[in-house]
A and B are shown apart, each in its own frame.
Chain A
Amino acid sequence: MGGMLGIVAAAILGVVMMFVGLISQKSSVIRIAGVACFLILVGVTAFDFSAIHEQGTQLYFNNMLSVGIKASWFNVLISACAFIYILIFNNHITKVGKNDAEYFALMLFIMVGVFMLSTYNHLLILFIGIEILSIPQYILAGSDKENIKSNEASLKYFLMGAFSTGILLMGITLIYGSVGSFEIGNIATAFQGEVTALPMIGVILLIIAFGFKVSAAPMHWWTADVYDGTPTAITPFMATIVKVAAFIGFINLFHGAFGNIHYSWKLTIAILICVTLFIGNITAVFQQSVKRMLAYSSIAQAGFMLFAVFALNDTAEKSIIYYGVSYTLASIGVFAVLIKLKDYTYEGFNGLGKSHPLYAITATVCLLSLAGIPVTSGFFAKYFVLTAAMEQGLWLGIIVFAVLMAAISIYYYFRVIRAMYFTSSTEEITIESNPMEQILLVINAVLVVLLGLFPQFILG
């Protein structure tokens, strides 16, 4: 069975988490249980990985799941990222609302969806995976029930998510209609050379549906409101792990099933890339709230990750994993500092460098990584996806455009750094610092740099 134990474990642990909530109301117990669950998950996926490493690619349930070495390695990494997230944020999560255990349970269910997206070999599994990924998110977005913004985020996300689900289903239907099979392999063999309009429309609809999930423009409208409204403890989970998983699903489908008809959809993806990069970066420049800026920056980062979808080669598939991990760790690091502040505007960061140098320095490392400054992993992440696109042939225009946009992104990331170091605050920032958390933040920041120095660890 080694290979899909991750899915089973995540589902069972989710249920276990609910029972923990039933047994104990103490948030400390629930927190420990949550951390333990995610730790077990890392262990199980690592076991899966070692099994797959020995046996090679495994197929399950009439080829519905195909667990390869890349997919299971991704599972290990994403569980590790989720574990780091839970470690840093567990005590903030329990401060939101009153249903602590359920939040952890929902996150574990999301992990089921994540694993399904990385291993599916059948469009039906893709659909269920995306839904398992999405529905708990709608709930988590609204978990701060007292807060009207959180309610709004939840409802908005739900309504628009339902719309995108419709589009996804329509796309799957059209593909099925023209191939007569849900299986990735069968679709790939059916689509060779020229394709007719029927599957073509299906492919575009799927691009749109995935574009919505990864918040690519022009399907990104929900992103800012939802990320902004969602409790800050939950947002990083949605913006990183879920988004990266959606990207893995995106790539699996488009490289696996539609790889032979790359010519037909690469233009659409190229347009998405340009629009996403443009809108994400330009609007991020004008935000006053750092949280909202991070929402737009996540759109901009999605633009870069789309390059991996665009480029149909081995480098792209590896680079998306690297990009995902690097982006996830960096975002978690920034959010971890943001959540400590009362004022989410840039002014809220004023003088943090002086009053809390440790928080400031970890945030700086992560921001540098997001901005793509060398030595940090963010630079190599961007570099890899662009190299992948470059290997694909000379689409120099969008690469130049992307590099230009990356330069613009410096502006808003450095605004935070400037606020922390180059501006003094009128009032003292009070942060209850907790040594455990500080250590975690430092580890996180060190990881961001180490991955930049030894990218081979993830790529190899």
Chain B
Amino acid sequence: MSLDLIIFIVLSALTLASAIGVVITRNPITSVLLLILTFFCISGHYLLMNAQFLAIVNIIVYAGAIMVLFLFVIMLMNLNKDTEPQKSTMVQFAGVISGGCLLLVILMAFQSSGIELTQTSTTVSNIGLIKVLGKKLFTDFVFPFEISSVLFLSAMIGTVVLGKKDDDIATAIQDS
């Protein structure tokens, strides 16, 4: 067993465990912290795949900015108690069962055909490096890269439209 594989297995286990933790835990703060852990683990995977830039961006954007925002919201709204609404055990049970079933079915499908997961590229790709990625983004993938701005723009409009009070919407636009 190579070192790569061992790290991969440990990281995967950790990712899955913390991700399940996010869903299971009742305390929002714990949940957010576990989510941050999950993101770190995913960044670890990126590193394994020789994508340092993505790993760093992942940590900065998700684990850093977004998660801090989450924590702010939770603290501002004073949600740091076990405020998870009581779901009936029936529903929870059914949810677990159905989720499990979906997993099982997909696994079964994989197994039934007995496919081996072939690696699409044997050499370690260097697409994740900042220089290569930048070049790719502005040559091959320039269209999706640019058109994503429309997506973000509409998301921003959405935040303003839904988030601001109607009275000061005009000023809000001017400010932004």
Interface residues of A (CB under 8 A from B): 7, 11, 14-15, 18, 21-22, 25, 60-62, 64-65, 97-99, 102, 105-106, 109, 112, 116, 122, 124-125, 128, 131-132, 135-136, 138-139, 142-143, 145, 154, 177, 180, 196-198, 200-201
Contact = CB atoms under 8 A, between A and B. Distances in A.
A415 B143 CA distance: 49
B106 A201 contact: yes
Contacts of B121: 180
Interface of B: 106, 109-110, 112-113, 115, 117, 120-121, 140-144, 147-148, 150-151, 153-155, 157-158, 160-162, 166, 169-170, 173-174
Given A109-B150, A139-B161, 4 more contacts: A18-B157, A106-B154, A128-B151, A145-B166
Nearest to A136: B154
A135 B155 CA distance: 7
A62 B143 CA distance: 10
Contacts of B148: 128
Chain A interface mostly helix, strand, loop or mixed? helix
Contact of A109 (B113, B142, B153, B169): B153
B103 to A, nearest CB: 12
A450 to B, nearest CB: 35
Given A21-B173, A197-B112, A198-B110, A139 B154 contact: yes
Contacts of A97: 161, 166
A152 to B, nearest CB: 13
B73 to A, nearest CB: 16
Contacts of B141: 124
B158 A61 contact: no
6 contacts: A65-B143, A136-B158, A139-B161, A145-B162, A197-B110, A200-B113
A343 to B, nearest CB: 27
B174 A7 contact: no
Nearest to B148: A128
Contacts of A136: 154, 157-158
Given A21-B173, A128-B151, A139 B109 contact: no
Contact of B158 (A15, A135, A180): A135
